């Protein structure tokens, strides 16, 4: 069974997956080779239920041309300085006769809300996934701030309407068309830019918490074995093979060859296997020669061990929906950030209790 790591706890809590302790021992899987954040997501109630596969993290991408035009530098959008980011966002923001022409700083909420909460020093769910903290002071602070960023860029309705016009996956994307100052984004978007506009005016920066420490938000998949599987031994061997260092090296070499054939830049293969990543970037990856892309790869390498993840909760989908809906209510002005998160806390707490 191939599934997002964020959902694994729910399946494990319902007894739908086999614990993999015997599998790990039989296949000789060294779990210390995997990133701690990824392993924490596949561990529920003290047992491992999945073998982590890909790993995707977030970084900040800024429009180099917009920064230069407004007299700003990457230092002016250091996300550890929320007041500084707000000031820079207002300076980058542009309007015209048809409305918004450039968003200054897009905080990417609801989807990246957990990252902002972590930056404020909080968490949305306890490490064991059993307790929600959706209305914590840190969560309220993060939502209040990120909503204020959107409000300073035209308000949610106009902000979203304008953002929906972007050629996000095309060669006239928001960086080329000068429609964005900066935003946090998943690492895979660099491959999109490498394909459609490799010379887009992009500068990559790490996300940070308010103390200035490196911070990112990681997601990814895992291989698990369903309870009642007809051949759990073979399933276990498959999971072990698919996430092994040798398999990742082969995958990286194939990906590099494919990118070369199509004329695109190979920016690396990012996995939850630390040993595999080390070998990929020592033996397979080569700088593309495109300064902005190579610099972004360096930033991604610096972030891999600074990740937060969604804990393995028995009600993962319900908890996520609770905070996503709360963020949307606050963005739309239906509730204050505090009211929205108080409602979400009640919903999440009830969902976790019902899932026990």
pLDDT tens by residue, 283-335: 999 999 999 999 999 999 999 999 999 999 999 999 999 999 999 999 999 99
10 Å Cβ neighbour count for 354? 10
Residue 273: phi and psi, rounded to 5, are: -95, 105
**Could you tell me which residues come within 8 angstroms of residue 231 by beta carbon, excluding any fewer than 6 positions away?**
none
Q: If you count them, how many residues does the chain have? A: 356
User: Structure tokens of 60?
Assistant: 């900040």
The string over 226-252, giving b where at least 16 C-beta atoms fall within 10 Å of a residue's C-beta and e elsewhere, is eeeeeebeebbeebbeebbbebbbebb
Q: E strands within the chain? A: 2-4, 43-44, 47-48, 51-52, 58-63, 94-96, 99-105, 180-186, 202-205, 216-217, 221-223, 307-308
Question: 312 φ, ψ to 5°?
Answer: -75, 95
Residue 245's nearest CA partner among 281, 223, 277, 285 is 277
Dihedral sign for Cα 300, 215, 209, 340, please. positive
Supply the pLDDT for residue 97: 87
Q: Which of 212, 287, 276 has the alpha carbon at shortest distance from 246?
A: 276
Residues with pLDDT less than 50, the chain: none
Which residues make beta-bridge pairs with 99?
Answer: 96
Q: In the beta sheet, which residues pair with residue 186?
A: 58
| Domains annotated on the chain, with CATH | 2-55+218-308 (3.40.190.10), 58-122+133-216+318-355 (3.40.190.10)
184: CB partners within 8 A, 6+ apart: 58, 59, 60, 61, 79, 107, 108, 112, 115, 207
User: What values do phi and psi take at 204, rounded to 5?
Assistant: -95, 140
What is d(CA 93, CA 155) in angstroms, rounded to the nearest whole number?
12
Cα(1)–Cα(99) distance, integer angstroms: 47
Phi and psi at residue 54, to the nearest 5°: -60, 160
Does residue 315 contact residue 351 with C-beta atoms inside 8 Å?
Answer: yes
pLDDT in tens, 7-20: 999 999 999 999 99
- What is the pTM assigned to this prediction? 0.96
Contact 303, 118 (CB under 8 A): no
Q: Which two tokens stand for residue 53?
A: 């596969």
What is the spatial distance between Cα 120 and Cα 243, in angstroms, rounded to a whole number?
34
Q: pLDDT at position 356, please?
A: 79
Q: pLDDT of 74-106, one tens digit each?
A: 999 999 999 999 999 999 999 998 899 999 999
């Amino acid at each position: 069974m191939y599934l997002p790591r964020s959902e694994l706890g729910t399946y494990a809590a319902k007894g739908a997956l086999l614990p993999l302790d015997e599998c790990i021992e039989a296949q000789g899987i060294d779990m210390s080779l995997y990133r701690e954040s990824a392993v924490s997501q596949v561990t529920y109630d003290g047992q491992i239920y999945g073998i982590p596969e890909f790993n995707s993290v977030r970084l900040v991408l800024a429009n180099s041309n917009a920064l230069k035009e407004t007299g700003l530098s990457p230092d002016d959008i250091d996300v550890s300085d929320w007041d500084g980011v707000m000031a820079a966002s207002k300076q980058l923001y542009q309007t015209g006769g048809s409305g918004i022409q450039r968003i200054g700083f897009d905080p990417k909420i609801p989807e990246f809300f957990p990252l902002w909460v972590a930056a404020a020093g909080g968490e949305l769910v306890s490490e064991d996934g059993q307790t929600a903290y959706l209305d914590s002071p840190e969560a309220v602070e993060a939502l209040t701030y990120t909503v204020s960023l959107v409000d300073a860029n035209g308000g949610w309705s106009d902000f979203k309407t304008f953002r929906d016009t972007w050629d996000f996956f095309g060669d006239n994307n928001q960086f080329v068309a000068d429609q964005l100052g900066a935003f946090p984004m998943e690492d895979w978007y660099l491959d999109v830019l490498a394909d459609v506009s490799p010379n887009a005016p992009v500068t990559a920066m790490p996300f940070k918490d308010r103390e200035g420490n490196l911070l990112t938000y990681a997601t990814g998949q895992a291989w698990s074995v369903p309870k009642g599987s007809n051949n759990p031994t073979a399933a276990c061997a498959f999971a072990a093979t698919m996430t092994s260092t040798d398999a990742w090296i082969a995958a990286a070499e194939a990906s590099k060859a494919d990118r070369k054939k199509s004329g695109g830049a190979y920016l690396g293969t990012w996995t939850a296997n630390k040993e595999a990543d080390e070998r990929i970037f020592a033996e397979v990856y080569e700088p593309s020669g495109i300064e902005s892309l190579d610099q972004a790869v360096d930033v991604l390498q610096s972030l891999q061990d600074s990740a937060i993840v969604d804990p393995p909760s028995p009600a993962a989908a319900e908890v996520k929906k609770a905070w996503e809906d709360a963020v949307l209510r606050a963005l739309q002005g239906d509730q204050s950030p505090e009211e929205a998160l108080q409602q979400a806390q009640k919903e999440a707490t009830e969902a976790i209790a019902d899932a026990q």
